[in-house]
Amino acid sequence: MSEAIAKEPVRAADPAAEKASLKEFFVVSADCHVNEPNDVWAARVDKQFQERLPRIKVDEKGRKWFVAEGIRPSRIREAPRDESVSVNEFVEKSERPHLDRTRGAMFQNQGGINEDRYRDMDYDGIDCEIVFPNKGLVNWHSPDPALNTAMCHAWNVWAYETFGGHSRSFPAACVAPADVEAAVAEIEWAAKHGFKSIMLPPLMKEGKGYNLPEFDPIWAAACDANMPILFHAGTGKDPRSATGNGGALINYVVHAMNTVVQPTVELCVSGVFDRFPKLKFATIEAGAGWVPYTLHAMDFGNYAHAFWVMPKLKYKPSEYYHMHGHSSFETDPIGVELRHRMGVDNLLWGNDYPHIEGCWPHSEEQLKVWGKGLTKQEIAKIIGLNSARLFNIDVPKQFAIA
């Protein structure tokens, strides 16, 4: 357990004075990230994997590259893309409001493990957070399941050492599904060490789908541990499929956000929930507007293609989502507008701290936008109580809805 993190009471310290409305709710961000130390893996994996771990390399011009198995090397940018502009000048002239608060989240200095993390949460009115990796987002990229398993376990050990027993930060346990037996062992380890959720990649490099019965032991272990499965957008495969013009948006919309549709459909149409009625899952950081359409498409296909549909299901596919599924968003007016089609109880919210595309440190301002027209009870559920229920987080009495 890091000495930097005290075991605070569940309720956040007073949000900043101007965050008055967030004081009305118990706020759980279902999507936060943590900047791990450089040795998150090296200090914790077996010697046989040491040389294969992701690491920084420097080229002939002194530029830094993040190099990991299974993905294209990533240039680490510590300055704006236009390198004729200095960092200081960029920050000074930038109209991005984030930069006022982050002191450089754009340049990746925020979101570590120290008291600043909790100051940032307090400032944004966040009581509790579900914590996902930053560096560890590549835990599943190698084509070698043994390396993925080793990296996931090392990340989990680090997360336990860092957040174990904490009452505001709950890391998701990373689990590599390609080796099912090892995945089950990791889930059992995570349950024993107090983790509240399991992170699986939405897409697997092997091209397999979660509809296949070979993954049943994973669902059984998750049910035994009473932990939901989380599919975080853009993990499991390199989302940078597109290059050149429009590439950033193609990769964001198609190869990152859209990846969670596949496991959602795989689970809802394959009979998994008939075999594992206690299993819960959530898609993370992919918005929610896609859910109502996907539910409609599954139900229509279930009817129109009935001749080919196997296995025959007890319920309509959409009903499995209503009973088992959840989806988190940061600010998604479409998803919120269609909330009754997917179920208010199925919506989660997260601020994606400390990422620049997230809504930290302006969660309250964003709430005023997406929460317009919602009842106080609906907001209370979406902004915290649904996550509290899914992740088994105790809710202070004054915030509980009867």
Residue 355 within binding range of other proteins, rule CB under 8 A: yes
**What distance in Å separates the CA atoms of residue 66 and residue 108, rounded to the nearest whole number?**
14
Contact between 252 and other proteins by CB under 8 A: the answer reads yes
Assess contact for 150 and 42: CB atoms under 8 A.
no
Piece of 164-172, 239-247, 270-278, 343-351 that binds other proteins (CB under 8 A): 239-247
Q: Is 236 exposed, middle or buried (0-12, 13-18, 19+ CB in 10 A)?
A: buried
- Contact with other proteins (CB under 8 A) among 126, 130, 147, 347: 147
- Taking CA atoms, 35 is separated from 112, 327, 382, in Å, by 5, 24, 26
Cβ distance to other proteins smaller for residue 59 or 89: 59
Element (H, E) at 390: helix 386-390
Number of residues that bind other proteins (CB under 8 A): 54
Q: Which is nearer to other proteins, 69 or 337 (CB)?
A: 69
Site for other proteins in 256-315 (CB under 8 A): 256
> Could you tell me which stretch among 90-98, 153-161, 233-241, 316-324 binds other proteins (CB under 8 A)?
233-241
Q: Does 79 bind other proteins (CB under 8 A)?
A: no
Q: In the bound complex, what is the minimum distance in angstroms from residue 357's beta carbon to other proteins? A: 7
CB of 238 to other proteins, least distance (A): 8
**275: amino acid identity, one letter:** R
Q: Rounded to whole angstroms, how far apart are CA atoms 329 and 282? A: 11
Alpha-helical runs (H) found in 174-280: 180-192, 216-225, 247-250, 261-269, 272-275
Out of 240, 316, 322, 389, name the contact with other proteins by CB under 8 A. 240
Instruction: Spell out the residues 6+ positions from residue 168 whose beta carbon is closer than 8 angstroms to its own.
Output: 8, 10, 12, 118, 121, 127, 128, 129
Residue 35 interacting with other proteins (CB under 8 A) = yes
Q: Identify the CA nearest to 132 among candidates 223, 43, 202.
A: 202
* Kind plus residue range of the DSSP H or E element containing 128: strand 128-132
Judged by CB under 8 A, does residue 208 bind other proteins? no
- Which of 12, 203 has the CB closer to other proteins? 203
- CA proximity to 207, closest of 283, 298, 113, 143: 143
- DSSP-derived letter for residue 307 is G
Residue 250 sits in the site that holds other proteins (CB under 8 A): yes
User: Position 389: which residue type?
Assistant: R
Query: x/- string (CB under 8 A) for other proteins, residues 83-102?
Result: --------------------
Which positions touch other proteins (CB under 8 A)?
Answer: 33, 35, 38, 51-52, 54-60, 64-67, 69-77, 108-109, 111, 134-135, 137-138, 142-144, 147, 234, 238-240, 242-244, 246-248, 250-252, 255-256, 355-357
